[in-house]
A and B are shown apart, each in its own frame.
Chain A
């Protein structure tokens, strides 16, 4: 398919089909809307105690979903203006950075478009926590401070969409995306036609270890349960990352797993793996790993690739049982104050030259076509281009799995009640 075909094919897509059809919902929104007004009326009208008593409910997150359903997204986008600035919440070390901490690609963007970027790379340390922070504001229909944020595919992503917290992205405003997005991210399993998101990076979750601190070689998740690694292993606290290990070890495909699979996985994690685990980490694992807090850790491919220059003894493993592949996505909240500016950035990012500059610093997997070539030819960075961590061979890629897929709250509650105790320990 040529670039033009893609553009035409998708440009014709009518966003209005989204109205009401996007996802099934347990209850209608009318009730929740009333809650909204009840709360507001109470604050305005009554004294403190009275308001607490009358507002004896916390409004659900589905409130704004109806409003989102009713939105004509073409009109919504047509009504937005460029404001010359936007703010961007991202994970740490997830954009190019010079030695002093400046971000050259953002500076170039500002130079070219006149749009100033407030970039917060301390904002997201863990998907669930970040979602927990922004959800109340989004539920109240208030801005969250960021016009663009990066969210991993998973339950929180689903929640953001289901609750109508994020804007559908007008394809007319992101021609570069349609032209340059890699086939694999054009319509990912968790977001049909990338309606609400544009992938920022993809990556793999495997095992990393300091070979100088570990006897023998590690090739599988099962290896982590060896008695000799007691208190040497770090795992992710994120349930999606953790659960998939237990499932893969048991030979289950995470995305199609069932409750009983989860229970078996949790059982393996608690009884086999946990005794060797020193700590469950979020984003902070890398710092701890670098300072040799632990010898072995569950790790994200790009992080390890990036530190191997300084830590040549660190090895990364794509475990035999299989490993996770994930996608971090740029999303725009419906309450954003500068959505068009953020959209401009998304479109800008989907240029091979821009994405390559960024990619050559963060070393994950870019969603933009031609990046590998560009880095090989223009930037000339063989370390990245030839790395199996960034570009695993096809036989390894065959073992890559998507996360457990959860579509509704009840399932999610079951899921968390099974895996949370593993993380929080006993």
Chain B
């Protein structure tokens, strides 16, 4: 099976997504932006959940730190996006390094609880530190970065600023996902999967389990921060609500709904959740109820997620075809 003979699905998907501002409505662009940002967020979580086997219940903290760092730098200090965006990733990574150092010392449920606690500390700070974070008012009206250079590209001259930012977001997410994909497939990624599968044995083939877990935690935190930074600008503001613990649960649901054993599972989960959310909130305010019901179906009927289910079905059909 050579790479050249395979259909470049991911490339096709990204090209299709890039056409949205031209072929779709303003609302479609809005939806697409949310999906790609959430996809990055969910994939970063899955580096912990699916790849390393760490159940983080506070991943939204790093998303939030990224959003606030970028938002504060751009709005309060007028720092350009080119600097503020990497700063958001670095800030989130730094916070992940500090909190992760303590979290990886714990196992299982205790790990989940400590990550939850750290995320609630971030929430408490965001909610109360009026001078810096805007407190419960949040930080509205974060400026768009200057994107005039996009005008130079063919066919982009008459795009709205929000469309341009969407294209920038798409490009940044694509690069981030490519990097994450590479990391998961790298020797380092292989080490993480051994830890997920059997941490005790991993130590006995010479893996420093905690150090690798911490490294994964920091990488996941950095990309969550990047997603947060994009989200803050995209939604025109950063608010304490972004950091509340139930958001961590939501992104876990995305990862599991898509299928956490597969790299492209979480993006599929993000797509389904965001799309369903938009469709259902148009009819009823009881979105959480629907989400809960989806979760129940998932837990009891489809534990491998959508991609996992499709994969199992595909394997079975192919097996039958051969037999």
- A, B bound: no
